[in-house]
Each structure stands twice: as C-alpha cells, then as structure tokens.
Chains A and B, each alone.
Chain A
C-alpha cells in the first residue's frame, strides 16, 4: 500500500464517527467460526517519510554550547526534528508535542508524544520535562508505549461474544450497540438491587473518576486488585497513622531502608529510583531486605537476604538496639505516639508486660509518665537481640548490626518503604510494615526532610464539580464479615465466594485487569468466568487481549497511555502534583483546528477511553433521569446537557487546583489549556511534617482555652474513656485523650498545649498500641503492638530435609508490568522468560543445572519450568518472576504470538484442570516487519495457576509466598510450561485459611462490619456498616 493511501486510510478512520462497516466485520449470519482479525491497516505507523524542502531547524543548543535535553515548551506546538532512521539524509519531520501520562505502571510518569503534523502518526514517546514526579525521565516501559500503540494484535473495535462463553468467536459491534445493551443490563440490575454491578479494576491509572461514577450509580460495586498487591503493607501503615502508603523522601535521606526491590520495580519505580540514587550520591546508605539478589539489593550497601517472614524480627532487633541504648528520638515519641493510651492498656491488662516493677509503678501512680513508656519499650523488646534475628533470618549477624548502626545515626533522615514483597508475601505481613514504620517513629523520621511521610500528605486529588452521596449498600462479595479489617476488597476470593454460593453478579466489568491470569488459583477463576449463572454478563475493558477477556461477553477496547484522559497524582516525593493523561492524536487534531467529539474518533480503530465511555454509559443507563443517575453526568456549564470531557476537566482545573488558574493566567492560558500544554502541575513542594500544623480555624483565644483544659485534664485521672468536655463556644470540644473534636468528629490533638492537626487515627496520634486491633478480635500482644507474626512459610513449616522449598513467586522485572506490557516488543525482546532461580547447593541436591527442567509441586498442583542457577538466591528458596507465561488458545487471536504460548486447556468433571503448551513464541507476519523477526521461543510459565489462595485473616492480603511441597528434576513426560491443578484442593486450602479468620459477627465491638475510621474505597453511609443478621456461613 502506498504512503498516500496509508495516510488517507488513517485519516478517514480517525475522522469517522462510526467505523466503515466494510472491513473485518464478522457477519452475524456467516463466518461465525472465524475470529475477527483485529489487525488493521489503519493502525500502521506511516512508514513513508514526509519531507519539508525548506525546513528551518530550531537549534536548541544552550547558549554556552552545551546540549539540551528537550525542546523548550514554547516550541512544542510546532517542532521540527531530523528523522533518526533516515539519517544522515537530513529528513526533517514536523511534530506537535503533546504531553500525556504513562500507563505502564502506577507511577504516572510524564510522557511527551511526538505527533507528526502531516500524518498524525505518533512517532515516539519521550519523557515530559514539566512533570514534577518523573522530571523528563523514564524507565524502559515509557518509550515502549509506542509498541503498544502500534501493536499489530490490538483490539480495535468493540466485540461481542458469539456462541458459548470462551468459544473464542466474536463479532464486531458498534459503540452504540455496546452502550445500549450494557446500559440496559445495568439499569435492570440497578432497579432490582444495589449490589449486582461490579467494577473490578486492575490498574486504576486515575484518581477518583470511576469511583465517582460507581457512586453515582448507587451501587456498592467497587472491587480492586489491592489484596494481591499492597493490602498487607497498607494495613500495617493504617494501624500506625491512618494513612495506607509510605512516601519516603529518598533524596534527602541518610539511610534508605527498602523491603522489596524499589530500584527496579518499586512503588513508584522511576520517580523513586531517581531519588534513591540521588540520596545515595549524597551519601545515603541503602539497605535492602530480599532473599533474592534483586538489582536493588545489588546496588545496596547492605543486602539482608533474610528468610521470608523474618523481616519483622530483624526490624525489631534494630528497634531494640535503639531502645536499649536510649538512642531514639524521645521527644518525637513523647509528642506523637499514643504512649498514654498504651500505658493505660497495660494498666487495664490489655497489654501484658512481664515486669512487676512497671506494673506496680503504673498501678501506684495516677499520672502516666513518659519514663514508664520508655521502660515499657525496654521490657517489651528486650528479647529481640541481633543474634536471635540473625538466627531466624539466616543472615550474618554483622549485617544486622551494621544496619542498626546506620539507622541509629540517621539523624531523623530514615527513608523506608515496603511494598509487596514481605508484606504481601507472608501470613501476618502487615506487621512487617508496622515494624518498619516503628523505626521511623523511633528515629523521628516521620514527615521530616529525608524521612518518610504518609501518601496522603504528598498526593493531591482535586475534587470534581459535583459529588454523589455515599451509597447505602454493602456488597458481601467484596468485604464479607470474616475480614472486618481487610485492606480492601477480598478481590482474589471472588470466584471462591461465587463457588460457595455467596451470591452472583449481574454485570461484571473487568478493567485493565486479567483476573484469571494475575490472581492465585486461576483455574477457580476460570470456572467462575465460564459460569453464566454466577457472572451473568462480563464486560472486559482492556487495551489488549488477555486470558480473562477471552471469557468475556463484551470486549471493549480502551486506550493506551496516549489515547485517553485521566487525572493522576502520586506521592513520589515531598511535594504534590497532578498529571493529565491525554489522547494525543485528538489533541493534535484539535490543535490543527479539527473538531473531535469523542476520543475514539481520533484513536486507532475505534479505541475509546473509559472517561467518555462511563459518561455515555451512565447516561444510557438512566436516559430520563428517573434513577437519579443522570444528574451527576450533566454539565455544570450547560444545565441538563450531558457533560463533555473538556467540561469535566475544565471545572476541576478552574476550581479545585490551588494555584493553577493563576499560573495559567500568567501564561495567558485557561487552566485547561495550561494542562493540555504542559500535562502536569506542581501543587506544593517541600511538604514536611504536616501533622504539626495547627488546627485550622482556631483563633488564639480558643487555643488558650484549649490549653488550660489540657492542663486540667492532665491533672485528672484518665480512667474514663471517651469522656468529652465541652468548651465554649463554636462546638469545639476536647476529650480525655486530648483530642480536639468539632461536631463530634476529631479534627486535631493537643500537643504540649498546642492544638495540632495530628494524623487520621482515632487518637490523632501515631498508634503504637492499637485499640482497634484489640477491640476487633485481635487482642494478643503480637497483634496490638509491632510484633512478628509467624509466617505460613516460616522455616518450621518448610521441611527442607523432605525436599520442601519456599517459592518466591512475585518479583517484578524492571522491564515488565503484570500482563499489560505483553504487547511491547522491545520489552519482551529483553525479558521474555521466567526460569526458576535456584542456589547451586539446591541445584546440586536435585542434580539439575541451568536450563534443565524441574517440576515444582505446590499445595494444589504443579508446574514445570527451567532452572536458572545463581548465587543470587538464598539456599532453600526458589524464585520466579510473576510477569511471564502468557498464553492464548487460538493460533491467530488472543495474546500476541510473539509474547505468548499457544496452549490447550483440559478440564474434567473431577476438578482436574490442566494447561499444556503446544508451542512457545513464534514469528508471524503483520504490517510490522518486526513480528517476523521474533527470535525467542520461551515466554515463560504461568505459575499463578498453581498457587493456593492465602487470605491473611487481618489485612485480607493474599500471602503470595508458596510452599513448594516438592521440587524435583522433571521426568520424561513433563513438558515445559505444563500446569496441573486439582481445584478441590484449591477450595480445601481456601477453607483452611478462612478458618484462621475472626469474624466481625463474633468480634465487632459496635455491631458494625468494620471500624468506621478505617479506609474503604467508596465508604457507604454509616447505616450500611451494620452487620447483617445472617450473613453467609452463619
């Protein structure tokens, strides 16, 4: 095809509202057995080179002659660059540069799309220098966004299933049809009940937009991936401070302590990696806990290859070192830790201490003294010696001592982070985060320069124009009574709940989510997805094919990073910013004066974006407004009319982002135009110790009154809990715990006579002793205070003598993210397989070498993979990256042939489920000549299918670490990639873990399902918290 035709074809598709009905439509009446070929000429990058005969280049060399990194923003509208491929022939190409936000992980780094002004081809994605988080730099996945955009395997049109679910037959439908049919089902469900619609999100990639829609629908329908990702850490942080993620200030740290591999995969990879290395170059020491030699461990000053589950013990040994040597920030602890409550707990016998002197002192004296707390800490943690930690962790004791020395001298500049890794690996992993943050507390490195802040202090989520009221329902499929403290929904157990008969779903949206592949126990997911009684309609919103979408009823293609609107912010450092994701071709077309109504007109094929889709879907769901839904989707500028996407963001940028209107005005731009131009805005910088801020709105006089009250209170015995003393006037109050209440809600705390805002816990202080855990069924010391919990993979549970090993299945590579990066050829070329890491001593024992096949048996089945022998893994532990092992069931459709195995499934009635690989990656022909150059074969093994579910009874997190009950050299009948699972065993192991829970039915102190103060996505009204009479299983 000629270049000219390409261009015309491209433009015609871009500008057509409805797709031409000619191509690749699988007619309803014939050709049903043919899968639609979603490989379209119009998604080809234009190969021909336009030339500009008299192009004037814009030199951007700095005045002193040095090179610069980016064209200056004032040239972004019209930028000329030489084509790198044509060089040294000087072929100039004219671009308009449109900023957007990467969608390949959660970091929300900036990208800058180079959109060719003649062909509207997106030539490349570079970084966005105006983005305060990523600062113009990216990881490997940023540039690879181009691969995803021009992936020959893309789904370009809405598809509807033909035949039975999972048959793999599809027909193309219009967006109108998709909207009509799905909205009808939702309307029907919503009229029947408030828990029939479920939106299950893998990667949100935005802040609050979709949640607002779900709330507007009036259903309790949010489900997430949090419990296979971060729930463990979140719970630990939450019990300390009411926030649920850390935000370390790596740049200014003296000691950076990482549990997990933050330099290759962290949360947030590129922004944090930049700042960790900045800190290192300024002299910070890096300490990494990981049984595997990650790239991060390799860059560290101290690598602690501890046995998984021993992290808390090491952390407490360090804490104990600080405590016993009085080498901690007592002033900070005295001011900001709930030591009075803790001592009160000791006094009341809620926390037992083996120290008669202290007991006597507490009983004898009416005033609680901080010295008692110092003594308490000394007694509590005395048992945590370096030797004990070294023994339990199986690491050299010198390394723990060295670490403790570094921490002791961090000078309030200890940046810590745990994400996934130990906190999501182990039973009780939430205590790892708690013990880690304990070191921040002890060193006073909380919110300080070089310390660790709360995510909520550094993340900025602006409010939209109108917020629907909270819902009135509680969906038992998301947060059942067994896990009252779960962070958050028990997402990965959804199919188990369905299997048990806890409910069914009318409309299930999976969105940038591949639940069968990414969750443990995928075959149970497969069973649920196949069951049209349990999941009545499955709508997969996805940019690419995935294993789960294969079992959907509708596949709705959604855009990649440069094809959609989203607003995002992340706590990447001590500052706040927002970043604006944009459909870059749409913006480029609009800059050229062309009208675009919906993003799918400008995107490849008919790829749309969720933002506009949700608006239209909601409007279709309630066309006459009778359900009360439509009102939330009406324009704030044009009453009664459905809002446009421009209006939605225009309102936010004009009204909800402090400083943005002024900044925009200074450049003679509207706030929306400013964001379209720069793609990011810095809201605040150098955010430190926000909990020390005075409570807003308290004038000096009232502060004095509060002070006198505090003084009086200190004189009074504090036996009465929650006693509230009113002070005049203004409805301000102070209770016996020194909390400042306004209209009954705590808004601050008195610290040394000052009314300060504090943190979002019930006590407004950092909670060492957790009253919440005590009250909600976990009264033992190992739960109420930072303490190690015995992991399910504790050495006591792994009999290495019997051939048992520990499988570490959940580490990330720097080049891939879950299943979203599969269609990026440059990333797959670097990393396409996940061999099992094994220490030479174990390899010798099993008589295998690098490249040999082994069979790994888990609690529920087995898989077969190759071995990678390395000294970079702890003996007794095997490890496997979780990204790889993608598969498809049809040769030509499904996941990209270069990135997936062709597989076959075999399911029998007895519950034996098998996945066998027919062949690995293969070269194939498409418009992209690179697909014929695929040179690799091994695309990994899908191990997650063989993982039993391990829901932590407190945090609800799936504890990823697996016990490999047997690891052997593969037999002659074993083939690479074989997977087999007995789903009866799956359900049995599930039940074993359910038995560990302590149901709210038995423990709730107030008849609620969950503590009101704890976070929950989309908190419903208080009434919805009431426990039901007869929940499932009762």
Chain B
C-alpha cells in the first residue's frame, strides 16, 4: 500500500474548499495551514492567467522530516503516509528545517509540530481524506498508488505529472497534472508582494517591508549599457543562481510581463537568536576544551591548577549554556529528556545530544577532580593521573560537540546553504577561534597564568581567524552554490538583508579588528586587555555571522 495524491490542475478552480474542510476535520488553528491553495498570476493583459496550486505535505517516499526527528514523532507509516504524534514531539522544529516544502508548522495549541497527515484517522476506517471528499471538482484524487485499480494509479499511468522540487531527492507523492512551473517553484518570483489579492501579508521582520529585496537590481536597473563591438547592447552577467528579475517581475512595477504571487500561506521563521547563540556557546565550550587538551597534552603550556580549573569551568559553563539554549528553544522544553529516553538514531539532533552528554560527563568528571585538587579536597596526584586520560578522551568528544551541528544542518534539507561540505571543518575552526578568544579574555584576569598560554591562545586565535576568513570568503561565499536556494541565501547574507551583519559584523568586527589588534599586540605594545578586546570582538562577530547564517536561509520561501 502506498498512499499519494494527484492534484488535477485541469480541474482546480482555486475555491479553497479543501483548505476549510481540512481546518474543520482536523481542528487546525488560525494562522497555520495543513493545506492551502497558492495563487500565482502570470502574463500581461489581455493574456494573463491565475494559476492555482493545492499545496501541502508531499508525503515523501523519502521524508527528511522523519530522518531528522530526534524522537520519532514524525514518522512514515507502512502505507506511505507521513504521520506525526503530538504527544511525543519535543518542538525542536528541526523537521520544519528539513522539509523543503514548508509543509510543517508548530501548532499554537499544543506547541508541537503538525502537518497534513493524509487524514490517517479516516483512511484507517476506509474513508478518503476530507479535502478529497469536499472538492467540488474532484481535483484532489487520493488513493493507493500501488493498486492498479484505483483512479490515482490510472491517472499516474496515463497523465503527465510533475512534483515540487524533485531535485531534493525526497520523492514527493503529491503529483500535479498540468503543474505550473512558476507556482511549483517558490523562487520564481523575486519576492512576495506587500499584500495579497485579498489577504494581508505579514512582514517577516517587524518594521520592515515584508520581504526586503535581496540586493538584486530589478530588470529595469539591469538594462545593459555596455556595447559589444558589433554594436549589440549587452547585459552584464549575473551572479550565479541569482537571476535578475528579467521578464519576471511583480505587479507594483511597470510590468511588461507579470509573475506575482497573489495568495499563499504565510510561514513564520522557526529558529531565532537561541540557535546562533547556541552555535557560539558551543564553539566556545568545545574550543576551550580542545585548546586545553592539546595544550596540556602536547605541553604547549605548563599546567597551572587555577588556570586549568577556571578554563575547564568556563568550557563546561558554555557547554551548559549550549544545552540550556537547546532546551530553551524547544517548544516543549519539559520533554527534553525524550531525546535521551527514546532517541531516533538517524537524527543528528539525537546523536548530538548524546555527544553533548558524553562530553559533559567526561569533561565534568575531569573538572570535578581538577577542582577537587585545586581546593585541596582531592590529592593533586589523582588529578595529574586522571588528566591525560580525561583530556585525550575528551578531545574527540569536544570536536564532536563542535562538528555535529554540521551534520544536523546537513539534515535540514529545506535549507540548502546549511548543507555545506565545508561546514564541519568550519565549525572546528570557529570553535578554536572562539575558544582561544575567550582564553584571551580569561588571561586578562589571570596575571599568574602561564605565559605560554597567552602565546598559544594568540597563535591559535590568529590562525583560526585567518582560516575562518579563508573558509568564509574563499570557500563558503565565493564558490558558487550548487542550488539556487543556497545561492539566494548566500546572496542575502553578502548583499541583502544581512550584509551589515556579514561585512561590518563578521568580517570587520569579527575578523579584521581582532587581526589588527593582534598586529598591534605583536608589534606596538602587548597588554593582556588588547587580547581580551580582540577575543570579545571575535565572539561578537561570530554571533553576528551565525545569526545571518541561521536566519537568511530560513527566509528563502519553500512554497
């Protein structure tokens, strides 16, 4: 058995009956949608058309939402329905990031993820989904695609069908007859208009226009002025993946040819400041530990009980903050332990939680012994004996703490920018950068710390900054992105809404200022507070970068 939908656009009249029938059947609250009818207007008077597209969960054969869910709250049934269980969901919103189709929302009543579940409670007793029953035009066809006697199997056999974003490899099972490319493709329009045909548009950012332009020139501005030798007027070439509007414009301009979204469901951004914060705190916590582990293990600096105990404490403190931020960002924080009790092992959120816990146990035990020794509660020998084992054991865990998020982000298939192969190494570099930066700050307050510590910290810091700059500018942002969505998000960061975060915040404050301070410290005068300022700048810059990196891809529409 393999349930799917066929949406027959030859018949759909855009009446929204499916939308309200679904709200009724499943008691879906206001503000969120399991199914909706997207309207797109194309053409130029008198050759214009409005296209309707019933839009909903695709019940993917290979559902990324189920793969990323840390607790099996989102799951694929034997009959092909992708269902969810609100009584288990912890509200981490990872599934929303994993879905390339904007199909999942957080239910304001239960604070858990929800979406179209194919009316599984109805199919269970042999009834069609409510949307299919209500449809005046019989334009929604539901049924078992494996059974050749069904209408859906027949239609799939004889009609040309298309799906949304097949390139995501999810094998969507909502098939469109006469699917319209502009409707299917969320980024076909440059941006959402300020209002819909008969509904308000909620701004993505308070106080701004709904979705700010991402820095592209409009086609009018992009009119070429250069001339070739033959006399042809040339358009300048465009950035990869970021077509200028070209013929595709929205209605408020003088449109020779219009493509505008006139109705769509509105989606809120799932992850906000706690996630970039978590990336920073995690970097600091793991980075410090890595430096301690390597520095002591390879004897880059001498052991000092106070320094090491304090550094260990800061590392654990930031890891603790990391965990706290993770929990804080859950819609159901009280269910945090579900991750540990009933993990879904394919999920990097679950794996990451165990890495975090593993690290916290190893580092925590070590630190207790170290602190015990410092406070003369335990024998210094015991600490000294334990130290190499714990630090070498903790090092891979610390790296894991820094790196696992790259794998989690890679599972977020709705945000192509996050699926960067550079991300694991980038996260390690960022951890070293942030960890060494914080060590520099700490050093300011520890006049008795070993001298080599500052040297090691400065060295690691500068190397990490340079590497990070390299990875950022030469890697992530100058190498073209494989997908248009990733390119758009990257462009949003470098040229659009987040360009200040990126250029002034990350590159300027986060890298150039600390590097300048490093030069000042090395060549002009060397005071610990300069390191502290440099470290602080790097940490703030990192946050601003992470903020842009987390937010921008979420702004690119998936529906």
Contacts and interface: CB of A to CB of B under 8 A. Distances in A.
Contacts of B84: 88
Q: Name which of B45, B46, B117 has the most chain A CB atoms within 10 A of its CB.
A: B46
A868 B251 contact: yes
B31 interface: yes
A396 B200 CA distance: 35
Interface in A328-359: none
B452 interface: no
Which of A59, A62, A87, A89 has its CB near the most chain B CB atoms (within 10 A)? A87
Nearest to B194: A851
A184 interface: no
B144 interface: yes
Contact of A67 (B127, B139, B202, B258): B127
B514 interface: no
A971 interface: no
Interface stretch (A204-212, A298-306, A470-478, A765-773): A298-306
Contact of B15 (A814, A835, A849): A814
A868 B251 CA distance: 8
Given A81-B125, A871-B255, A137 B13 contact: no
A57 B44 CA distance: 54
Nearest to B209: A851
B233 to A, nearest CB: 24
A59 B123 CA distance: 9
Interface string A46-62: 00000000000111111
Interface in A828-859: 829-835, 839-841, 843-844, 849-851
Interface string A683-696: 00000000000000
Nearest to B11: A277
A989 interface: no
Contact of B199 (A87, A832, A841): A832
Contacts of A833: 195, 198-200
A3 to B, nearest CB: 16
B143 A67 contact: yes
A84 B83 CA distance: 12
A295 interface: yes
Contact of A274 (B108, B137, B150): B137
Interface in A76-123: 81-85, 87-90
A826 B126 contact: no
A787 B306 CA distance: 102
A874 B46 CA distance: 8
A59 B23 contact: no
Nearest to B255: A840
A83 B27 CA distance: 10
B133 interface: yes
B19 interface: yes
B119 interface: yes
Question: Which residue among B132, B133, B202 has the maximum number of chain A CB atoms within 10 Å of its CB?
Answer: B133
Nearest to B24: A143
Nearest to A843: B252
Interface stretch (B47-55, B215-223, B240-248, B357-365): B47-55
B459 interface: no
A834 B199 CA distance: 8
Given A293-B48, A840-B254, A936 B200 contact: yes
Contacts of B19: 140, 826, 830
Given A66-B144, A850-B251, A871 B195 contact: no
Interface residues of A, number: 94
Interface stretch (A369-377, A716-724, A926-934): A926-934
A84 B199 contact: no
A140 B130 CA distance: 12
A293 B198 contact: no
A140 B258 CA distance: 28
Contact of A60 (B31, B125, B138, B197): B125
B251 A295 contact: no
Contacts of A61: 125-126
B198 A273 contact: no
Contact of B195 (A273, A840, A868): A868
Interface in A234-283: 263-264, 270, 273-274, 277, 280-281
B262 interface: yes
Interface string A280-296: 11000000000001011
B43 interface: yes
A466 to B, nearest CB: 39
B134 interface: yes
A869 B193 CA distance: 10
Contact of B134 (A82, A84, A138, A827): A138
Contacts of A851: 193-195, 252
B330 to A, nearest CB: 21
Contact of A930 (B30, B142, B144, B198): B30
Given A126-B134, A127-B133, A139-B15, A88 B45 contact: no
A582 B254 CA distance: 53
A870 B262 contact: yes
A65 B127 contact: no
Nearest to A85: B27
Contacts of B134: 126-127, 137-138, 142-143
Nearest to B150: A66
Contacts of A844: 254
Given A57-B125, A395-B46, A140 B15 contact: yes
Given A281-B10, A868-B251, A870-B262, A929 B125 contact: no
- Name the 6 nearest CB pairs between A and B, nearest first: A61-B126, A849-B252, A851-B194, A82-B121, A869-B251, A143-B24
Given A874-B46, A929-B109, 9 more contacts: A68-B127, A84-B26, A87-B120, A126-B21, A139-B136, A293-B48, A303-B46, A841-B254, A933-B30
Interface of B: 10-11, 13-17, 19-21, 23-27, 29-31, 41, 43-46, 48-52, 83-85, 87, 108-109, 117, 119-128, 130, 132-139, 142-144, 147, 149-150, 193-195, 197-200, 202, 250-255, 258, 260, 262-263, 266
